[in-house]
Structure 1
Amino acid sequence: MFNNCAALRPYINHLDDIYKDFTTYKFRVPVSGAIILDESHERCLLVKGWKSGSSWSFPRGKKSKDEEDHICAFREVLEETGFNISKLLNLDDYIEVVIGEQRVRLYIIAGVKEDTAFAPQTKKEISEISWHRLDEILPASEEAFSRGANGLKLYMVAPFLTGLKAWIAAHPPPASQKTEASAKGLCVWKVKSNSGSGSTAENPLHIVPSDSHNADLRPGRSFRNFRFDIPTILQSMEAAFSAK
């Protein structure tokens, strides 16, 4: 690409340095998101990455330039789970850690019903959304990558667990919310297959409308409906190569 693009050609000799600078910058960008707890405070919501073998993590993402932490949390949680936390977020209820050179702030969103409709609004980023028992994730460690008691691969989860446990102790749920239903983990959204372009999503709780005749009115609909004009792109490429 650098060899064939006139605008990029002058940078060929510096490509390694440019890539190194970019990766260094990438791992310094602050991250914001949310720890979503169910009504019993015994389970948290985790999302799993798209690629095979991906880890589970709290919904979160990198901040845009000049973006406030809580605004980033709204945006990233909505994109990854389809859930709007804006009315539930308390600016003072958060846990913040520094992992490497990256600051990560997660707001605590408690009391979310287990049958809440969750579904990512971006394509090929999230493959599964599930409620997970906190006692299957504990004990905590300071490592970014870790494994839960049940063998789950976790990323950026363990460093928050000590602070989360302390927050829950200071904010106990109503006694009526501690039910037997909270004794098990629960998958609320999952793709049937994340290989190839024919991937589809299923909802074990049937909480995401699947009627194809319903208008898609969710935020981000223009992105989801976007399609490249492949024939035109190929025609333009052929014309460009022919001109050479």
Structure 2
Amino acid sequence: MSALHRSSSAPSKNNGGSLPSKELLDDLCSRFVLNVPEEDQQSFERILFLVEYAYWYYEDNSVEKDPTLKSLTLKEFTSLLFNSCDVLRPYVAHIDDIFKDFTSYKYRVPVTGAIILDETYERCVLVKGWKGSSWSFPRGKKSKDEEDHACTIREVLEETGFDVSELLKKEEYIEFIFGQQRVRLYIVAGVKDDTAFAPLTKKEISEIAWHRLDDLQPASNEVITRGVTGLKLYMVAPFLASLKSWISKHPPPVTRRLDVPLKALCVWKAKHNSVGNSSATMESQQASNKPAPENPPPDTGPGKSLRNFKFNASAILQAMEAGFSSS
């Protein structure tokens, strides 16, 4: 998952739809929040990530199968789930603080990814998110106890279907700090431009393309948000100068023929009207198997509510035991 993956804060669609039933909410809570390893129930950071997985499942499967259901924002869904689930209900009074701190926390989790260059080092692979029109290098947030290069291999595979493990060199990367978030991108060079790309996750990536580095240069000296061709590149532009410097010191394996124009190339594009036909079982497995991101540095961030609360794990165990005894 991609996390700066999906946009969970966009306005609700299908505002005329009905809210999910308590039965459906309880099922999602049981599946994604209660039925997980005990270590994932020890902090609100991880609990909220589990709630987010439940939200994605609701949007990707429940809403698609039942068009009468209302599409929700993550905050709306979180509030409904907390009010419905017995073990979460005691914290409803603090939901605004919890959600605010969780949002802040997500933007402190380290991010890693890859700058995939073709054999001429003149083009790179960019992905466009499911919502919006911004492009970025394939990347995602680190999971608990995950090494940077391992996160990169996992996230790039999820977003592009391409395994960079054989080409990734741990010492070749560009890193920046944005606010409190560290972003490290490994340079994966020499990939053939006829390589097949296709994301492995649903509703996360809408397009994958080779883009000319020259087209990614800023359109002006003002705040860099767009390239010369009009592409939205606010998460690409900061890395371009360092990338150009790296390329100047590393000759490409293939020299481009000057008489052959090198063009941008779309290699995969989602069909929005047919995406989402994967089985619910597969989606559930993907969400459930994805580990929660690592804990943030101590005493960072503006809020304290996530650190002040202790999730009642005993209530979870009692709820699970009650469920088993009644089944």
Structure 2 unaligned residues grouped into runs of 5+:
1-79, 287-327
Establish whether residue 190 from structure 1 lines up as the match of residue 269 from structure 2: yes
Establish whether residue 5 from structure 1 lines up as the match of residue 85 from structure 2: yes
Task: Quickly say closer, same or farther: Cα 1:175–1:117, change in 2 above 3 A.
Answer: closer
Structure with the bigger percentage of helix: 2
1:1-244 → structure 2 map (5 Å cutoff): 1=80, 2-51=82-131, 53-139=132-218, 146-174=225-253, 176-178=255-257, 180-181=259-260, 183-192=262-271, 194=272, 196=273, 198-199=274-275, 223=282
The separation in 2 between residues aligned to 1:40 and 1:12, in whole angstroms, is 55
The separation in 2 between residues aligned to 1:48 and 1:114, in whole angstroms, is 18
Deviation at 1:168, TM superposition (A): 0.4
> TM-score w.r.t. structure 2 length?
0.57
User: Once the two structures are aligned, what percentage of the paired residues are identical?
Assistant: 66
Structure with the bigger percentage of strand: 1
> TM-score w.r.t. structure 1 length?
0.76
Task: Quickly say closer, same or farther: Cα 1:70–1:180, change in 2 above 3 A.
Answer: farther
CA-based RMSD:
2.5
Task: Quickly say closer, same or farther: Cα 1:61–1:181, change in 2 above 3 A.
Answer: farther
Counterpart amino acid of 2:249? A
- CA offsets 1:176-213 (integer angstroms, 9 cap, x no match): 34555562100001113x2x5x3389xxxxxxxxxxxx
The separation in 1 between residues aligned to 2:218 and 2:191, in whole angstroms, is 23
Counterpart amino acid of 1:80? E
**178-187 vs 122-131, which moves further:** 178-187
Deviation at 1:128, TM superposition (A): 0.5
Query: What is the aligned residue count?
Result: 202
Structure 1 unaligned residues grouped into runs of 5+:
202-221, 228-244
Higher relative contact order (CA 8 A, sep 6+): 2
Counterpart amino acid of 1:14? H
